[in-house]
Amino acid sequence: MSLNIEKTEISTKELAQLGTNKIGYTRMMTSKQVLEIFPETENILPDMEFWALFAADGEPLALADHPDAVLSSAFDNDLKTVSVH
C-alpha cells in the first residue's frame, strides 16, 4: 500500500501564523538577550538568566526570572507551550 502525499510549501510567515493565539514558546535568556528584545528592561543586572514567553510569530509576551511565571502567563492566555533550546 502506498500513500500519495501532496507537498505544499508555505512561507515562514505563514508557518508562524499557524499557531497565532494558540501556541507560545518559552526560552531561557541572558541579560544581554533580554535587553535586545525587551528594551524597557534597561536596569537589569548583567549575567542574570530569565525566562521569556513568545507568541508563535515571535512577539515577546512575558518575561520572568522563573519558568513557572511564564508558563502561568501562557496558561492565562490559553496558549499551549513549547520550549526552545
Predicted TM-score of the model (pTM): 0.75
Confidence of residue 1 (pLDDT cuts 50, 70, 90): low
Overall size of the chain counted in residues:
85
User: What pLDDT is recorded for position 85?
Assistant: 62
| Cα 9 from Cα 38, distance rounded (Å) | 33
CB atoms within 10 A of CB 51: 21
Question: Using one digit for the tens of pLDDT, what is the confidence trace for 50-85?
Answer: 999 999 888 899 999 999 999 999 999 899 988 776
Domain edges within the chain: 22-83
Cell numbers linked to 57: 510569530
Over residues 28-50, mean pLDDT: 89
**Across the chain, what does the average pLDDT equal?**
86
Report DSSP letters for 40-81, one per residue. T-TTPPTT-EEEEEEETTS-EEEEESSHHHHHHHHHHTT-EE
